[in-house]
Amino acid sequence: MARETIEPAYLVSVQHLAPRPRAVLILRDVLGRPAKDVSECLGDSVNSVNSALQRARAGLREYLPAERQDWTGGDQDAGTRDLVRRCTDAGVTTDVDGLATMLRDDVCCSMPPAPGLCIGRDAVVNTGSRAVLRT
């Protein structure tokens, strides 16, 4: 049940939230990181992080039903739901190659507080691989 309620929240946040509130929502509500840690990670104040989290939660309320169990997504979202399920599975099993195959050719990725923007599947995969090797 927990996994089924996270998938729609993740799907909606990716589609509808601005980047900073999306990042804060995932770090705070999905990963359970404290506001202080998130503020340090994003190079922002705790108040700013809390404000971004409030905006993200308000944004989610616009798109999700009151009870997560009522979420259906509809038939038109079947392809997107399948993609989110495959991404979730690959993330849980740390299948980097599987995640890489799901990226579009025109993918863009930034990882604040590190400067820069990676554009294209190869650039994102190569940068991500180096980051994994450093940790």
Reading the chain (135 residues) residue by residue, the pLDDT tens digits are: 455 555 655 666 667 888 899 889 888 987 889 999 999 999 999 999 999 999 988 887 777 666 655 555 555 567 777 887 888 888 888 888 888 888 888 888 777 677 778 888 888 888 765 444 333
What are the boundaries of each domain within the chain? 1-71
Cis peptide before 115 (omega within 30 of 0): no
Q: Which backbone phi and psi does 115 adopt, to 5 degrees?
A: -75, 160
Helix (H) or strand (E) holding 6: helix 2-16
CB neighbour list of residue 35: distance below 8 Å, 6 or more residues apart: 28, 46, 49, 50, 53
The answer to whether the pTM exceeds 0.95 is no
Tabulate helix, strand, coil % of the chain (nearest 5): 70, 5, 25
Task: Say which CATH topology domain 1-71 has.
Answer: Arc Repressor Mutant, subunit A (1.10.10)
